[in-house]
Structure 1
Amino acid sequence: MSIEGGGSQATNATVKLRKYMKALVAHGGSDLHIKANSQVRARINGDIVTVSKEKLTKEEALAMAKEILGERFDEFVEKKEIDFLFMFDKDTHFRGNMFFQMEGVSAVFRVIPAKILSLDELKLPKALHKLTTLSRGLVLVTGVTGSGKSTTLAALIDEINRNQKKHIITIEDPIEFVHKDRSCLINQRSIGQDTLSFANALRSALREDPDIILVGEMRDTETIDTALHAAETGHLVFSTLHTLDAKETINRIVSVFPSEEQNRIRMTLASVLEGVLSQRLIKTVDGKRAAALEILFKTSFIEQLILEGRDLEIKDALDEGSQIYGTQSFDTALLNLYKEGRISLEEALGNASSPNDLKLRIEGLGGEIDSKQTAEDKTSDFENDDDIFALKED
């Protein structure tokens, strides 16, 4: 459900919140953290920093919740947490989550960029464009919360929307990036407001003449099984999982099913899985962040490995197929970022799946690399901002 972010009837709670949001966007932050009896904080380039000396009392935080949620406040009290979309203005939205904790109410607001960036603007590997030309199958974007999965998915959908004539249905909780009808017809559905669950919406989508279905997250057995069926019956399905790499992704999907069904699921997955993008955000030498991606594309060898349960061999297979298929392991992605001078040696090794192996590969490069060994300390102007209310209004 979308919630308007203020207006002529806005009270003090919303006015304060909007000032924090405006400053967050101005400083390039990703998340705003509001907690009762605590200072307001924000995530800037991956770090949590304090943005104001002011503390919200328990009463003020509760008042903010009532004002923001309106008619959904009773639902919040009953369920103890709630997701929503906060409309700052027509061009800027925030994905919100509000919850109770021991000192009162807390809320986290994540910035949703007004513009959907292209794959090239995001500096993602060129090989990802091939995923937008698929006619059927399953494509998964995986990673921890905050790793940029939604941004990557939005870029993939936007490229299809601009270049093909398809019917796209998205099922999200909540809707983040809003896609306008371009060459494609796009129907976006929000859990709670437009449908009761991912599984219900996905079953319904199969009767709504879709070419492409985006499922915001495969959360349960029924949703996963239905998504596999949709891919198997000629649809292109995009979705996400909170897994670290392709091997873990395959294991997670198979393991959620009862043991007597796992062979069937593995056979189906081997047949329909067209791609897995496992994404992590790494601090760059200029204090920002860059996406490092493990990339799996379907090949006859990858299909065989999945079918035979040889998941441990997938990592090496991805690097072996890099020149022909554009696949790569996560450590190879780190190596490439380091070779380009975008990340430090410390960050490369600290985020590697196999630090010792990556270190040997870097040492083998000899003098080819001209890169800083440690990241510059450029976390945020927020660190020295005692009160962002001091920012002048436009």
Structure 2
Amino acid sequence: MDLSQLLQNAIDKQASDLHIIPGYFPSLRINGELYQLKTYSLVTPENSQAMIMSILNDQEKENLLANKEIDIGYEFNNNRFRVNIYFGKNNICASFRLIPIKIKTLEELLLPAELSKCSQFNQGLVLITGPAGEGKTTTLASIINDININYAKHIVTIEDPIEYVYSPAKSIVSQRQLHRDTHSWNIALRSALREDPDVILVGEMRDYETIGLALTAAETGHLVFSTLHTISTPDAVNRIIDVFPPNQQNQIRAQLSSVLKLVVTQKLLPRLDVVGRVPAVEILINTPAVSSLIREGKHHMMDNVLVTAEEEGFMFFEKYLLKLYTEGKISKQTAFAYAIRPKELEKFIR
């Protein structure tokens, strides 16, 4: 079994992921569905180890054996893969996420024009949220590339690992990879503040120290982008505040209410009209009304704002599902399967 052949197969079939797990056939995820490639033989522990270890350098092999998992970026035939290598039943397994060569525009990604405002902000915090594998990184890359192409800025990215690579344009871009270019998120973020950045991309805000540094960066005149794994835009606000000890939460509410610009929640839904997936989004904008709710801890009232302030650019997830349904892009069954608030959706789709 040849890794190059499997990777090329993933590219040719436009798969999002390739899985190599001993005891199973190699598997591809295409448009959200998982397919085992039964034209190949079952992956053996020996196959898996030989293929996967061949793409690691000595330091990466050492890290894998010490930590039992590792994330790396891997280039193959002018394509990039984000690779997570891990142990399962004492065997080496891997998931390869295909990163498209071309960074698509928001329009090409079928995302609402409202998101183009993100590249025009001069400072503050923008969050792209949603479950894993729902296109958050791709959306962020599109926004960052728009800044790169249209504005003269210094963009610093901190990623684990580097996924999309930005071509030289009007901006200058410093891309830093965890464990290769820096030892930790926090060290890299502190360092970024001394690197004359205009824009900082933090791949993921994983703990209160990273979140605290990101808020400080946004507060001190930088435009900060990051991601969170939350299911709705109000949940993202809750997650940030709840990460901190109770005695710090009032301070964080005040800080977040001041620096937050916009929160987007995104999911990819199977299309009804053509083969593929279409994004569904929720957009929360930090207007004075939202800022007041954040500061006062009244996060439960944000759903009301999302429903009633559409003319200000807000988008309620269930209303976006209604839009996709009425346009014939998704089925009624898909709309209800992916709804964040099914009871609210019942008011729009009967």
The correspondence for 2:294, drawn from 293, 303, 306, is 306
Normalising by the residue count of structure 1, what TM-score does the alignment of the two structures yield? 0.86
Residue 34 in structure 1 maps to residue 25 in structure 2: no
Match of 1:212 among 199, 203, 223: 199
**CA–CA separation in structure 1 for the residues paired with 2:52 and 2:65:** 10
1:89 aligns with 2:77: yes
The answer to whether residue 186 in structure 2 is matched with residue 199 in structure 1 is yes
Secondary structure class of the residue paired with 1:194: coil
Letter aligned with residue 305 of structure 1: L
- 1:169-188 superposed matches below 5 A: 169-188=156-175
The question of whether the paired residues in 2 share the 8 Å contact of 1:36 and 1:103 is answered with no
8 Å Cα contact 1:316/1:329 also seen in 2: no
Contact 2:123 2:224 in 1 (8 A): yes
Q: Within 2, Cα distance between the matches of 1:281 and 1:125?
A: 14
Aligned to 2:30: 44
> In 2, Cα distance between the equivalents of 1:360 and 1:33?
40
Distance apart, 1:144 and its partner CA: 1.1
In structure 2, the partner of 1:344 is 331
1:272 pairs with one of 256, 259, 264: 259
Counterparts of 1:287 and 1:299 in 2: how far apart (Å)?
A: 38
Q: Which amino acid is 1:45 matched to?
A: N
Deviation at 1:89, TM superposition (A): 2.1
User: Secondary structure of the residue that 1:170 maps to in structure 2?
Assistant: strand
1:326 and 2:313 matched: yes
Of residues 157, 162, 166, the one that matches 2:149 is 162
| 1:104 to partner: Cα distance | 1.1
Superposed CA offset, 1:342-393 (max 9, x none): 1000000111122233123124xxxxxxxxxxxxxxxxxxxxxxxxxxxxxx
Match of 1:147 among 134, 140, 165: 134
What per-residue deviation string (whole Å, max 9, x for no partner) do you get for residues 282-328 of structure 1? Answer: 111134111111101110111111111111111220221111x2111
Task: Specify the alignment match of 2:113 in structure 1.
Answer: 126
In 1, distance between residues paired with 2:131 and 2:348?
Answer: 26
Measure, in 2, the Cα distance between the counterparts of 1:289 and 1:263: 40
The residue identity in structure 1 corresponding to 2:15 is G
Whole-angstrom distance in 1 between the partners of 2:153 and 2:269: 35
Alpha-carbon contact 2:126-2:262 (below 8 Å) kept: yes
Runs of 4+ more than 6 Å apart: none
Q: Deviations over 1:95-115 (max 9, x none)?
A: 000100115111000000000
Structure with greater contact order relative to length (CA < 8 Å, sep ≥ 6): 1
| DSSP 3-state at the match of 1:346 | helix
Q: Partners in 2 of 1:103 and 1:195 — Cα distance?
A: 29
Structure 1 window deviating more from structure 2 (114-123 vs 332-341): it is: 332-341
- The whole-number CA distance in structure 1 between the counterparts of 2:108 and 2:187 is 35
CA distance in 2, matches of 1:182, 1:115: 14
In 1, distance between residues paired with 2:320 and 2:215? 28
1:19 counterpart SS class: helix
What is the identity, as a one-letter code, of the residue corresponding to 2:145? Answer: D
Residues 111-159 of structure 1: per-residue CA shift (max 9 Å, x gap): 0000000011111001111111101100000111101011000000111
Kindly tell me the number of residue pairs found equivalent between the two proteins: 347
2-structure distance, mates of 1:18, 1:60: 13
- Partners of 2:52 and 2:64 in 1: how far apart? 9
Distance in 1 (CA, whole Å) between partners of 2:247 and 2:347 is: 43
The reply to whether residue 245 of structure 1 matches residue 221 of structure 2 is: no
Gap runs ≥5 in structure 1: 1-12, 364-394
The root-mean-square deviation of aligned C-alpha atoms, in Å, is 1.2
Letter in 2 for 1:38: Y
- CA shift digits 1:14-57 (9 cap, x unpaired): xx112112112222210000001211111111111111341111
1:295 is aligned with what amino acid? I
Computing the radius of gyration from Cα coordinates, the structure with the larger value is 1
TM-score, with length taken from structure 2: 0.97
Q: CA deviation at 1:76?
A: 0.7
Identify the residue that residue 99 of structure 2 maps to in structure 1: 112
SS of the aligned residue for 1:335 comes to: helix
**Alignment counterpart, residue 284 of structure 1, candidates 271, 276, 284:** 271
Please list the CA deviations of residues 161-197 of structure 1 after superposition, one character each: whole Å capped at 9, or x if unmatched.
1111111111101000001221111111111111111
1:62-101 alignment runs, 5 A limit: 62-71=49-58, 72-90=60-78, 92-101=79-88
> What is the SS of the residue equivalent to 2:54?
helix
Deviation, structure 1 residue 208? 0.9
Answer yes or no: is 1:25 the counterpart of 2:24. no
Shift of 1:235: 0.6
